[in-house]
Amino acid sequence: MSSVIGTLLLILIGLTTYKGFIDRQYFERHVFNVDEILINRQWSRLFSSGFLHVGWIHFGFNMVALLAFSWSLELILGIPKYLLIYVGSLLGGNLLALYIHRQHGDYRAVGASGAISGVIFAAIILFPDIKISLILLPIEMPSWLFGILFVLISVLGIKSQSDNIGHDAHLGGAIVGVLLTILLKPSVLQTSWWLILLILLPTAAFLLLIIRNPAVLMVDNYWGEGVKNLGRRPRRRKQLSVDEILDKINRKGVDSLTPEEKDYLDRMGNK
């Protein structure tokens, strides 16, 4: 059977996606753009960008995934709760992307992937033992395994930032999808508590890591001082680096420098 709301969303997103293809001004008014959101306060882009795509293949993959999970979710939760998960996950995914790319003023993105990730993870929490097949690949796995691999791939993708996939929006949408499912159907805390922990604990640890130590996202092969030290201030390195000090000035301003860093920078400038 087909999902009523999933089908309606497909039609709506298809129409707005096509509008974006033929009307560049429309696309530019609604695309996720960091500077437009943070500087010009165009918060509506957090929502409207989810109704655009960069191409029909991008649109097609998203819609196939949406329809694959919509019917069961609509049946169990009902249309209002389903829509809450969809919209909440869309906004949650884009808010995480906005935080991670807050220093990248020219960062742009479109797509419903955050919302669809929330729908998928809501279904995973509700039905942890169902089988999930990857699109175009004859690979089938339990939904709980898919969820864990999805989180791992998203974390590594955010860390490396080596492709054009919105891993941050995927992860943010998935997190909101899990949290809203718990809120709307608390019984999952009894039936799927182990899967919720396997998804949320490593995700929370990674988010706390990048909040406390933003350099994790800036330096290759650097993961900070380890999760066990996240609650403590990191030890100062014995050897200061001009590049690190200049990067700190760029991020936080010259007033953020310690006396030791200012003295070191003065000494290096006099050489």
For residues 148 and 256, membership in a common domain is answered with no
Dihedral, CA of residue 136, residue 91, residue 100 and residue 18, to nearest 10: 50
For residues 140 and 70, membership in a common domain is answered with yes
- The answer to whether 32 and 91 have CB atoms below 8 angstroms apart is no
Query: What is the structure's pLDDT at 230?
Result: 44
Q: Is the pLDDT of residue 79 over 90?
A: yes
For residues 187 and 242, membership in a common domain is answered with no
Give the model confidence (pLDDT) of 221-259 as tens digits: 777 754 444 445 544 444 456 667 777 777 777 777 777
Structure tokens at 259: 């006396």
Least confident interval from 126-135, 214-223, 231-240, 254-263: 231-240
For residues 210 and 240, membership in a common domain is answered with no
For residues 141 and 253, membership in a common domain is answered with no
- The answer to whether 151 and 199 have CB atoms below 8 angstroms apart is yes
CATH number of the domain that residue 86 is part of: 1.20.1540.10
For residues 94 and 160, membership in a common domain is answered with yes
Task: Determine, yes or no, domain membership for 225.
Answer: no
Task: Determine, yes or no, domain membership for 29.
Answer: yes
Number of domains, the chain: 2
Structural domain boundaries enclosing 189: 4-217
Task: Determine, yes or no, domain membership for 231.
Answer: no
Q: Is the pLDDT of residue 91 over 60?
A: yes
Task: Determine, yes or no, domain membership for 53.
Answer: yes
Give the model confidence (pLDDT) of 14-66 as tens digits: 999 999 999 999 999 999 999 999 999 999 999 999 999 999 999 999 999 99
| Distance in angstroms (rounded) separating the CA atoms of residues 265 and 259 | 10
List, in order, residues 6 or more apart from 95 with CB less than 8 Å away: 46, 172
For residues 150 and 49, membership in a common domain is answered with yes
Task: Give exposure, 219-248, as e/b (b: 16+ Cβ within 10 Å).
Answer: eeeeebeeeeeeeeeeeeeeebeeeebeeb
Greatest Cα pair distance, the chain, in angstroms, is 74
